[in-house]
Structure 1
Amino acid sequence: MNQRFCAVESRAIDDPLVGSGTHPERNLLLSWPRSKWQRNLRQASDMPEALLTALHALPDEGRRVNLIHRREQSERHHRVFLMPERQAFDIPRDTLGDFIAALRRGDDLAAWQPETVERSLVLCCTHGKKDKCCAKFGFATYKALAEAVRQRNLPFEVWESTHLGGCRLAASALLLPQLRKYGRIGDDDVLPLLESEARGRPYLPCYRGDSRLTPHQQCAQVAALEWLAAQGLEADVRVEDNAAEADETDRDLVVTWHTGRQEGKLTIRCHALELMRYDTCADLPNGPSPSWVWRAVEVREGTPALA
């Protein structure tokens, strides 16, 4: 019997990447050997119970937790990143609980000797215990990203990561602190993606959206960037959401753009539609379920005309 993968099914039905880039801005990343990861994105099999309880409490306090891994990292000495603070810490396992407690209390963390994170982090989901697509597609992409960074001396640190959302879009990656998400990263995308990000620009063929924006705002943002790219323009954009009703299926969003020498406005019409899809491989035995997605259906120069 042929093995099925949600990522293959997703691509086959043209499930859009755009609009799936949501991710919290405040993050704690904790290095822990991948061999110990459990299905929950914050849990490892050899974690002390008190530490596990503290980590599970952090999302309710406004900070997402992901486990990360790379082979050269010590198993008993943990690398911790705080984003968007761009702080990094090296903490022995026996004092990790004290560090998390201090963080939760809002203590000054100077005693923990924080380092400033100079290089952007590239997190690539390889969380096979969560979804088999992340193992099959994610690990190969992680190795390719890490090797490209090493060979080209690009300004990134690449880490394997637990679940980043959107298993059906594997291989998936997240750039921090930029908060840009990517999906369906293939071999031919690895170097162009990294080179684009090194210039501070999203790589549009795999771009899922700016995590700070809502799904329909991401739809408008990416449509504007693609329109500008077709004109040979590389611009900064800002999405203005003028939709009055939260449940409208058609929205006209104004996107302001500027290049330094040129500027303008675009009106992007985004349309919501229902798609039958598998969100994860665990859904495959039970059949697809309905989900709402956004597609850009029109790009116009200027702002909407008044009624």
Structure 2
Amino acid sequence: MSTRATQHFCARESLAMGDPLAGSAAHAERNLLLSWPRSKWRRSLRRASDMPDDVAAQLEAIAEAGRRVNLIHRRDQPGEHHRLYLMPENRRYEMPRAELPAVLDALQRGEPLTRWEMGPPQGSLLLCCTHGKKDKCCAKFGYAAYKALEAAVAKRALPFEVWESTHLGGCRLAASAVAFPALRKYGRIATEDVLPLLEAEMADRPYLPCYRGDSRLSPVQQCAQVAALEWLASCGIHADVTVAPSSKGHEPRQDWLQVRWRSAGDEGRLAVRCEPRMLRRYDTCADLAVGPPAASQVWVATQVEVAEGRAARVTSCS
């Protein structure tokens, strides 16, 4: 009797070893998202097998100038007719492939793209990484999450455009997604997370069970941000938070970070203790064959204290 070998995935290994989501949200603020059929994607996040050389060179130059470039895909988008989004500008354009070099040239020169512009997106863009040529976790878990998100949006006519995307970072955290223009980054999206995630995004707040943090913050600040949001949510408070930089530099042995929060009816200040942990994790499925690389540092929130607040009910949460 033959026995099928157990198939291993870096995402399952990451979850099993307690690799935290918070602190993993690094992502460029300036983005160019370009539709291209997924069947043509290559391992690079911005290359396709049938992409003209001049277009590939222009996209590389745009990326080198500081704007992240991702390819995106949706079945209803014609393969030879492209959709292009600029974020955080929240601008949307369409053009046939023959005109794409002119569009990218105008963008590089800072010239208006009025000729190709459509109206702004009718709601948020939700990109789900399905880049199987990069990592098999994104093919397995990412595509399942994409289909579930797409189905939920279509069934309920929700204000989202859901797209498949090339590599979004953190293959071990699949299924991964990014919401634009808010630039909220998510990981480990399971079927049961789909509807509450969409509901949270419609309310313009992060879905905390899958939230990785604000990409504009350092990893330790993201750790404090997520811990503060979770603590406040346990008190029934949905708030905006501002995290002060670490008082001990970018990589202290441990630190208390100050977090100010403001809700519709109250405000206050929390102190969050974050401590580093070292994990010998598998960052991608390719690591599974050779063993994990050198240990990586992650951050874990170990304590939240009330530093200041007018609401008596806040002081009782822990």
Q: Under TM normalisation by the shorter chain, which class is it?
A: over 0.9
The whole-number CA distance in structure 2 between the counterparts of 1:172 and 1:141 is 9
Aligned equivalent of 1:173, options 158, 173, 177: 177
Cα distance in structure 2, aligned partners of 1:97 and 1:148: 36
- 1:297 lines up with 2:302 in the alignment: yes
- Secondary structure of 2:280's match? strand
Question: What does residue 224 of structure 2 align with?
Answer: 220
Matches within 5 A, 1:228-243: 228-243=232-247
* Amino acid of the structure 1 residue aligned with 2:252: E
Which structure 2 residues correspond to residues 93-242 of structure 1 after superposition, within 5 A? 93-242=97-246
Distance 1:118 1:38 in 2: 30
Count of paired positions? 303
Instruction: Name the amino acid aligned to 2:198.
Output: L
2:90 & 2:250 partners in 1: Cα distance?
A: 34
2:248–2:255 Cα contact (<8 Å) kept: no
Equivalent residue, structure 1, for 2:46:
42
Give the match for residue 11 of structure 2. Answer: 7
Aligned residue type for 2:236: G
Normalised by the length of structure 2, the TM-score is 0.93
Distance 2:173 2:158 in 1: 25
| 8 Å contact kept, 1:236–1:257 | yes
Once the two structures are TM-superposed, the CA of residue 210 in structure 1 deviates from its matched residue by 1.3
Pairing partner for 1:272 from 270, 276, 280? 276
SS in structure 1 of the partner of residue 300 of structure 2: strand
Contact 1:255–1:267 under 8 Å retained in 2: yes
- TM-superposed CA distance for 1:102, in Å, is 0.7
Query: Displacement, 1:114?
Result: 4.0
| Structure 1 counterpart of 2:259, one-letter code | V
Question: CA separation in 2, counterparts of 1:23 and 1:246?
Answer: 18
Q: Is residue 21–residue 211 contact of structure 2 (8 Å, CA) maintained in 1?
A: yes
CA distance in 2, matches of 1:170, 1:37: 19
Amino acid aligned to 2:70: N
Cα pair 1:180 1:210 within 8 Å, conserved: yes
Alignment match, 1:80: 84
> How far did 1:260 drift?
2.1
Unaligned residue ranges in structure 1 (runs of 5+):
none
CA RMSD of the aligned region, Å? 1.0
Q: Tell me the residue number matched to 1:58.
A: 62
Specify the code of the residue in structure 1 equivalent to 2:138.
C
Provide the TM-score with structure 1 as the length reference: 0.97
Shift of 1:100: 0.5
